Amino acid sequence: MSSFPTSYSRAPSLMFTMQSLSNINATNIAIGRLSNQLATGLDILRPSDDPIRSATISTLDTRIESTNQLLKNLNFADSSIGTLDQVLADAKNLIDEAASIASSQINSDPETREGQAVIIDSLIDSLFSLANQESMLGHVFGGSAPGRQPIIYDRGAYRFVGELGGLTAALGTASNVPLTLGVGSAIGELSDRMDGIVNLNPGLTPDTLLSDLNGANSDGVNAGTIEFSFSGGQVAQIDLTGSVTVGDVIDKLNAAVQQYETDQAVTVLGPNAFSISGGSISADIPAGTLAFTDMTGSSIASDLGLTNNAAVPFSAANPNGQDLQANLTWTSSIASMTGLGGSPLGSIQLTNNGATHTIDLSGAQTLADIKSAIESGNTGVRVMISEDKQSINIFTESAGTQTHAMSISEAIGGGGTAELLGIRTLSTNTRISVFNDGDGVEVISGRTDPLTGLVDPTLNTDFEIKLGDGFVISIDLSDSDITTVGTLVASINSQADAQLTAASRPTTDFEANMGAITNGIEFTQPATIASSGAIGIRPLNNSQAAEQLGLMDGKSGGSNVLFRSEDRATIRVNNLFSHLLDLSAALKDDDTFGIELATKRLGFSQDHVIQARSTVGGYARRIGDESRRQEDRIVFDEAVRSQLRDLDYASASTEFSQLQLQLQAGLTVASQTQQLTLLDFLG
């Protein structure tokens, strides 16, 4: 039985050929793609393979890369915190050794104390090395500038020149952990500071930034749309959006109200229009009333002090808005500081680190000029704006003995500039509690007669003042008398006047005052009495008040007319360096009380270091916890990415075998369909 091949049909041979080639090529392409997948281990070779999965994989790639960098940061942070912890541990051991030496020398002899002072000096050298210790990130006590050595030796003192705050990095949830310590750390500290006691009360200028205003509501100032009307007429709006300075606000107020005058055919503003008056915005309204209001949910006009009082709008009788409470900034002009009362600045005298500087501030135009003048010339102090941004504070950088302490007084012919700026370290407003490095002054009170059980004034007298002619004035101080230098002076004068009057002597025979130029409490007597002798001080009843007030170390001058106490309100850096230096000096001077005091202060340093180390330990734990979180996160992300991106080798191998078989079958079919028949020859 005869049969015809299957290639016999009505379709042309070329179509069969092209179809076969197409199928074979498709199989070859699939085999090629699968070969690449098997070679790379990736299921997706290009984004077009699967756009949705590719986008997800790209997001995961970014997250994994970010996490890897974060882990590197955390490793660096852990290293720095570890170094910091070790330095604090070494500092704690150093304090323990110093405290042990101090305790053993309370009842020792001068020779032994001299020898132990040498050991304390070596401990100070060791502390100097510890304070300048470096980690992978730089100096661990360098604050926000770890690239610079934070402690330098300067004229017998150890001066902290590091920066505020600490260095931070991107550490995930631990990003606020400081990797270095600066001002305020257990070792790198500035002084207890001279807190400015005068509110400089800077006024407004056209250049005052809105961001530098507390606002009439003490809640800052924002810009936006407000409304106004004149004498109850048409209400209009003013868009203050985009205003940056007070001058911007005033320009927009003037433009809007002038347009209102044109639109409503009224006269609102006088020749001065809107301007600045002290700390508020002022409006020149010759007649009528100009009222501002806030839109619903807004307080912009109120914050700018324009609403003033709903019942009292701007008028000729009420031209000024509310005070905007401008903050003190380095660009604040001296002329705008109403707290100075219009008085010109002169000179001040600054003593710090054993050197005295007379600083001329008469040419200062801004607060930055004051800062520059005080800090220049290697004075070793820093000028900072107070937290309430209304006054200035002065810090000393130098940790040393009492001879290195800082004091600020008036300069001869300086016009009282130190008190004018509120930075004189000893004035009538100075708190007695800051005397003697913050130890204050102790007075005796409440002692009773053992026989009567009643309070005996003679047992509570703290000291006596002996005038040149031998007249004695007894001073009995109470806690209320030693609140400030002013209350102390008033109490001494009151008691002296009473005793002089009782003795039928004029009250002008004695007077206590705060020194006008030089820091110190001054006692004066007439020249007629001074010719007989100088003023003398004698403590009574074992009271330490006279010593702690500096009276026992006072000096006479002016032909015995004047007696001035030693300044006990000087400011020192209260840190480990100063405490060790005090201990060394006390040992060398065979000063038992000084040794006891230094031992007590070393205890404070010890507590501070322990607290700092516990804080650093908390930082280390936070970094460790964050590292573990990031490691878990990267494992999860890589697992998800693998599911989306990586090839399933088992499935791919099976598919590869199927494609090979498919290719073989395709080639076989193609070869069979292209065989020649009798018709090829007959045609």
Number of helices and strands (H, E) in the chain? 16, 23
What is the CATH number for 168? 1.20.1330.10
Is 639 part of a structural domain of the chain? no
Q: Is 161 exposed, middle or buried (0-12, 13-18, 19+ CB in 10 A)?
A: middle
Residue 652 has pLDDT above 70, yes or no: no
Q: Give the pLDDT of residue 674.
A: 63
Tell me, yes or no, whether 589 and 552 share the same domain.
no
Tell me, what's the pLDDT at 45?
75
pLDDT recorded at residue 298? 87
Q: Which residue has the higher pLDDT, 309 or 416?
A: 416
Tell me what pLDDT residue 1 has: 45
CA atoms within 13 A on the CB side of 60: 19
Assign 3 a pLDDT band (cuts: 50, 70, 90). Answer: very low
Region 595-611 average pLDDT? 88
Mean pLDDT of 88-108: 91
What is the pLDDT confidence band of residue 36, given thresholds at 50, 70 and 90? confident
Count of C-beta atoms within a 10 Å radius of residue 384: 15
In a domain, 167, yes or no: yes
448 band by pLDDT with thresholds 50, 70 and 90: confident
Encode pLDDT of 537-558 as tens digits: 999 999 999 999 999 999 998 7
- Measured CA to CA, the distance from residue 417 to residue 359 in angstroms comes to 10
Question: Lowest-pLDDT range, 15-24, 320-329, 564-573?
Answer: 15-24
List, in order, residues 6 or more apart from 434 with CB less than 8 Å away: 192, 440, 569, 571
As a whole number, mean pLDDT of residues 206-235 equals: 91
Question: Contact at 8 Å (CB) between 471 and 477?
Answer: no
pLDDT of residue 37: 66
Same domain? 148 vs 34: no
Q: Are residues 26 and 78 in the same domain?
A: no
pLDDT tops 70 at residue 192: no
DSSP 8-state code for residue 336: G
pLDDT attached to residue 189: 64
> Looking at residue 567, what is its pLDDT?
94
Q: Which residues contact 591 (CB under 8 A, 6 or more apart)?
A: 585
Whether 343 and 420 share a structural domain = yes
Question: Where is pLDDT greater, at 259 or 638?
Answer: 259
Same domain, 525 and 618: no
Query: Per the domain annotation, does 385 fall within a domain?
Result: yes
User: Does residue 555 share a domain with residue 620?
Assistant: no
Q: Between β-strands 511-514 and 407-410, what pairing exists: parallel, antiparallel or unpaired? A: unpaired
DSSP assignments along 263-296, one per residue? HHT-----TT-EEEETTEEEE--SSS-EEEEEPT
Give the SS3 label for residue 159.
strand
Q: What percent of the chain has pLDDT over 70?
A: 92
Number of separate domains in the chain: 5
* Contact call for residues 215 and 304 (beta carbons, < 8 A): yes
8 has pLDDT over 50: no
Asked if residue 682 has pLDDT above 70, the reply is no
Q: Which of 303, 325, 351 is the last residue of a domain?
A: 303
Q: Indicate yes or no: pTM above 0.95.
A: no
Q: 326 in a domain, yes or no?
A: no
pLDDT at 121 over 60: yes
For the segment 141-171, what is each residue's pLDDT rounded down to a tens digit? 888 888 889 889 998 899 888 887 788 888 8
Q: Give the domain-ending residue among 368, 402, 425.
A: 425
In this structure, the chain runs to a length of 683
Let me know whether 141 and 86 are in one domain.
yes
Residues 546, 468 within the same domain: yes
